[in-house]
Amino acid sequence: MKNKKVYYLDGYSPRKGLLGVAAYLYELEDKETEFTRFFMTLDGEWVHEEFWQDIVSVCYTGEAGKGAWWLLGKRGHVYSLGDTDNMEQIARAGTGPGKLGYLRRIKKIDGELYACGLRRQVYKRGKKQWTALDDSILSKKYFYGFRDIDGVSAHNIHAVGYRGEIWYYDSKGWHQADSPTNVDLEKIRYVSPDLCYACGNNGIVLHGYKDQWAVVDNQDTSDLWGLDYFKGKIYLSGFNGLYIIRKNMVEPLNLGRSANGYRLHANNDELWSIEKDEIWVFDGKTWREEVCPNNA
Looking at residue 63, what is its pLDDT?
Answer: 79
Q: What is the pTM of this model?
A: 0.96
pLDDT on residue 127: 84
Question: Rounded to the nearest 5°, which phi and psi values hold at 184?
Answer: -65, 135
Per-residue confidence (pLDDT) for residue 175, from 0 to 100: 98
Exposed/middle/buried for residue 269 (C-beta within 10 Å: 0-12, 13-18, 19+)? middle
Question: Would you give the DSSP letter of residue 118?
Answer: B
pLDDT digits (tens, 9 = 90+) for 168-187: 999 999 999 999 999 999 99
For residues 46-51, give the mean pLDDT: 96
According to DSSP, the residues that pair with 241 across neighbouring strands are 238
- 82 and 61 in contact (C-beta within 8 Å)? no
Q: Is the pLDDT of residue 1 over 60?
A: no
State the Cα–Cα distance between residues 108 and 106, nearest whole angstrom. Answer: 7
The pLDDT tens digits of the residues spanning 66-80 come to: 899 999 999 999 999
Q: How confident is the model at residue 203 (pLDDT cuts 50, 70, 90)?
A: very high
Rounded alpha-carbon distances, angstroms, from residue 253 to 41, 126, 208: 26, 41, 24
- Quick count: other Cβ atoms within 10 Å of Cβ 126? 10
Residue pLDDT, tens place only, 227-284 = 999 999 999 999 999 999 999 999 999 999 999 999 999 999 999 999 999 999 999 9
* Per-residue confidence (pLDDT) for residue 83, from 0 to 100: 81
Q: pLDDT averaged over the chain?
A: 96
Please give the order of strands across the beta sheet that includes 121-125: 103-109, 112-117, 121-125, 130-132
User: What residue segments make up the domains of the chain, in order of their start?
Assistant: 90-295
The band of 3, judged by pLDDT with boundaries at 50, 70 and 90, is: low
Average pLDDT over residues 55-84: 92
Mean per-residue pLDDT for 83-96?
93
The string of pLDDT tens digits covering residues 103-131 is 999 999 999 999 999 999 999 999 879 99
Q: Which residues of 130-140 are buried (b: 16+ CB within 10 A; e: fewer)?
A: beebbeebebe
- Which CATH code for domain 90-295? 2.120.10.80
Tens digits of residue pLDDT in 185-196: 999 999 999 999
| Cα–Cα distance measured from residue 161 to residue 158, given in angstroms and rounded to the nearest whole number | 10
Query: What is the C-alpha separation between 158 and 27, in angstroms, rounded?
Result: 37
Question: pLDDT grade, residue 2 (50/70/90)?
Answer: low
